[in-house]
Chains A and B, each alone.
Chain A
Amino acid sequence: MTAVELEGIWKRFPGVIANAGASLSVRSGTVHAVLGENGAGKTTLMNVLAGVYAADDGTVRLDGVEHQFANPAAAIAAGVGMVYQEFRLIPTFTVAENVALGAAPTIVAKGSIEKQVAELADRFGLATEPGRQIWQLSMGERQRVEILKALWRDANVLILDEPTAVLTPAEAQELGRITKTMSSEGRSIIFISHKLDEVKAFCDEATVLRGGKTVASSLSVTDLDAGRMAELMVGEATAVSQRRVRTTAVGNTALSVENAKVVDVHGRAVVDGVSLTVGAGEIVGIAGVAGNGQRPLADALAGLTALEAGTVTVDGTDLTTSSPRDRNAAGLAYVPEDRLGVGLAPRMDAVENAMMRNYTTLGNGFFIDRNAASNQAESLIERYQIKVGKLDAPLAGLSGGNLQRLLVGRELDGDPKVLIAAQPTRGLDVQGVAAIQKILVEQAAAGVGILLISEDLEELFALSDRLLVMHEGMISNDFDPDTATRQAVGAAMTGA
């Protein structure tokens, strides 16, 4: 019995074809993985199934009946529930209010709704407190609320869009158990992922998308292995990141951080006594589970937040109390984790974004010389092979890889001595990752000291000269990537 059948789905957005005849077939009572790189069209296809996007062409069938959803309400009525990657929950509403929203009785009696939600949660073994507000909950709890929402509406098809991205390993295991319970009741679950181990552990079948098309449908997960999966997703066998061969000796100390301490709004130390040095031409990697102080450390080094204690020195100049602009002038460049927001302004165009570091030097100090600014942007675009439609179009429509090339290019334009790169390849596709890594390697060879903060161990092992591990705001270990094992680094990341 086929619960979901999508056939020949086309969806175009301005300048982008997200789905080019994609298809998907899910059997009732199974957990079905949808695999693909970023930008492969997985989320768009799921949004078509959930009634969020109207497909330009193609058919949607549920249990053999054709549907055309005008809005999400219609899809919900037909039994489709979707848990979005970025949760659709209202922070100031209680769990019960969020679950019942849009499907509540006419008069909402707080107590009785909370009791019904608690009963539903118990039935599926989803631990939750119906009376608490969402902003007080952990990511895992929020996800359970999302699943409860779908169950409250008696969804027969549940879409989970990269559900484990925000979960701890234990929470991910728990999610696997929940999906099994639901599928054993005859519900069908669509599980979007790009992690093979999860797919093998949680799913029965897998469909692979590439470039908006389906390249393999309903494979049995037992037939999948890492090489085959990567080949299907990327289209060609990809070389595993190669170990960087350093061609130059490490020079003088470029960046020196001593006893850095950063506190958050609650006065809690999120970076606690971090000391490190990066030599000219050296790449020092920082590994760690997200939320262990990497981001506050990077922001404090770049001057976006103040250090509570400690010093920052770049190439012999003490920058501890300098403004971000002074730090930049002294040779410190920063590629922030949040590339669209902190790094680049999405509503401004390529020229404006390219001149954000040096606009004061373009023109006579009052008027900005637009030609000089355009030339600067064009030279970045050419040098880093950035694909932008028009120079004066807002950046918002560009892909992650192009945005990151523009950001990295801008930061490197002033010939810095130190580059702090936070998660520079996160969320990029294979080509994008390779391009950014190549730039980092070239810059190191040219003598730039690079502090590379990443959650991707492959990347850290391939690029770093030294590998530090950050745990609970402190540098807990200092590894040599040529001799350390992944197991040892992984254990250090979890605090073992």
Chain B
Amino acid sequence: MTQETIVGLLVSVLEFGTLLYLAALGETIAEKAGVLNLGVEGMMAVGAMASFWIGAETGNPWLALLFAVVVTAAFSLIHGLASVVIGADQVVSGLALTILGLGLAAFFGQSLALTTVLSTARFSALDLGPLSDIPWIGETLFSIDALSWLALSLGAVTWFVLTRTRMGLSLRAVGESAATADAAGTKVAATRLTAVAIGGGFAGAAGTYLSLVLSPGWSEGATGGLGWIAVALVIFGAWKPGRVLFGSLLFGGLIALGPRLQTFRCQDGEDIACLNFDADPTLVSMLPYILTVIVLIILSVRSRNRPSIAPAAIGLAYRREER
């Protein structure tokens, strides 16, 4: 295995990590407000299709990003209206959003399937001059695209807002006990709808990353289950932006590693490292879910004598006058 292969792998880890982090961060915000949104996969597809369309039309990736974020946020409000305003079951409504999103993206994306997007319409690697020339770090961290850095800063902002501001306090309170937050003068429905829309916007950004960075282009089924991994990541990360970041890189690493495993066989004259085992890549792609189940078990055991770490009101609709 050469340095080149390893750098290639690390870049791929960062790219998958960025995509997962954007989507999982948005889902964290929605779930912190008590709304489980299983529509991530569908929202991501809508975002990917929308951004690729505008990217192909205008050649401007930032415009494409903005459009995808707005469209996906609006799309996510279907789930918001159903579950928050009408009080429908969040699981059913979220699943419906995934199915609807995949369908809409496939339908509106039909004409885009064969289009190629100009290289100017993509988010390309940053050139930070001498920084990017540093071996290892420069070739990976300082050669990544602007959206990755944006994702990282969004993570920091999310952490700050959730833990250090009135807005965050209200949002978390709504997710722990809507009746309590209501009695304390917080606007429950507005807070939850906002959280869902922000989550939708983040999923739209993740979709943009998919179609304009990771694998430029659009085709039906492009999301390939990444949205579901993002949902699992929120649990893996215990609803904490920092841990979700760690989980995103870990899961991103597993996804990036899967297809490469076969090429890492020992060959004559290998100089750095080689692996000599016959791992089936599908086994590796199962690992995120297995890890999530293990973390779930650890969290449940840990919370036997104390309140659970999950937002307590997740999945529960709130009606003020219900007796």
Are A101 and B173 in touch, CB under 8 angstroms? yes
Max chain A C-beta neighbours (<10 A), residue from B164, B169, B182, B307: B169
Interface size on A, residues (CB 8 A): 34
Within 8 A of B (CB), among A48-92: 50, 52-54, 71-73, 76-77, 82, 84, 88-92
Are A84 and B183 in touch, CB under 8 angstroms? yes
Are B176 and A90 in touch, CB under 8 angstroms? yes
| Docked CA distance A73–B312 (Å) | 22
| Docked CA distance A220–B183 (Å) | 31
Max chain B C-beta neighbours (<10 A), residue from A54, A93, A105, A266: A93
CB neighbours of B305 from chain A (8 A): 265-266
Are B166 and A108 in touch, CB under 8 angstroms? yes
Are B170 and A101 in touch, CB under 8 angstroms? yes
Q: Separation in Å of the A70 CB from the closest CB of chain B?
A: 11
Picked from A53, A82, A103, A149, the residue with its CB within 8 Å of the CB of B321 is A53
Picked from B186, B187, B306, B320, the residue with its CB within 8 Å of the CB of A101 is B186
Residue on A nearest B304 in the bound complex, by CB: A265
Are B176 and A76 in touch, CB under 8 angstroms? no
Are B307 and A73 in touch, CB under 8 angstroms? no
CB neighbours of A54 from chain B (8 A): 321
B263 close to A (CB within 8 Å): no
Residue on A nearest B187 in the bound complex, by CB: A73
Q: Separation in Å of the A154 CB from the closest CB of chain B?
A: 13
Are B169 and A101 in touch, CB under 8 angstroms? yes
| Docked CA distance A53–B323 (Å) | 11
CB neighbours of A90 from chain B (8 A): 173, 176-177, 180, 312
Are A107 and B164 in touch, CB under 8 angstroms? yes
Decide: A102 near B186, CB < 8 A? Known: A90-B177, A135-B307. yes
Question: Interface range on chain B: under 10, 10 to 19, 20 to 34, or 35 or more?
Answer: 20 to 34
A137 close to B (CB within 8 Å): no
| Docked CA distance A149–B321 (Å) | 22
Are B321 and A102 in touch, CB under 8 angstroms? no
Picked from B166, B181, B306, the residue with its CB within 8 Å of the CB of A104 is B166
Max chain B C-beta neighbours (<10 A), residue from A52, A82, A92, A106: A92
Within 8 A of A (CB), among B167-201: 167-170, 172-173, 176-177, 179-187
B165 close to A (CB within 8 Å): yes
CB neighbours of B180 from chain A (8 A): 88-90, 101
| Docked CA distance A107–B164 (Å) | 6
| Docked CA distance A101–B305 (Å) | 25
| Docked CA distance A25–B187 (Å) | 30
| Docked CA distance A90–B218 (Å) | 45
Max chain A C-beta neighbours (<10 A), residue from B180, B183, B321, B323: B183
Residue on B nearest A81 in the bound complex, by CB: B183
| Docked CA distance A107–B162 (Å) | 11
CB neighbours of A13 from chain B (8 A): 321, 323
Max chain B C-beta neighbours (<10 A), residue from A53, A102, A106, A135: A102
Are B185 and A73 in touch, CB under 8 angstroms? yes
| Docked CA distance A428–B305 (Å) | 33
Are B183 and A103 in touch, CB under 8 angstroms? no
Are B166 and A93 in touch, CB under 8 angstroms? no
A157 close to B (CB within 8 Å): no
CB neighbours of A50 from chain B (8 A): 183
Within 8 A of A (CB), among B278-323: 304-307, 312, 320-321, 323
CB neighbours of B307 from chain A (8 A): 91-92, 135
| Docked CA distance A103–B183 (Å) | 12
CB neighbours of A89 from chain B (8 A): 180
Picked from B164, B184, B321, the residue with its CB within 8 Å of the CB of A88 is B184
CB neighbours of B323 from chain A (8 A): 13
Residue on B nearest A146 in the bound complex, by CB: B183
| Docked CA distance A77–B184 (Å) | 11
Are B312 and A91 in touch, CB under 8 angstroms? yes
Q: Separation in Å of the B164 CB from the closest CB of chain A?
A: 6
Within 8 A of B (CB), among A153-202: 153
CB neighbours of A352 from chain B (8 A): none
| Docked CA distance A92–B167 (Å) | 17
Are A72 and B304 in touch, CB under 8 angstroms? no
Within 8 A of B (CB), among A83-138: 84, 88-93, 97, 100-109, 135
Picked from A53, A72, A106, the residue with its CB within 8 Å of the CB of B183 is A72
Are A92 and B312 in touch, CB under 8 angstroms? yes
What are 7 contact pairs spanning A and B, CB under 8 A?
A54-B321, A88-B177, A101-B170, A101-B173, A104-B166, A105-B166, A106-B165
List 10 additional contacts besides A90-B312, A108-B169, A149-B184; criterion CB under 8 Å.
A73-B185, A73-B187, A76-B184, A77-B185, A88-B177, A97-B169, A101-B181, A101-B184, A104-B169, A106-B165
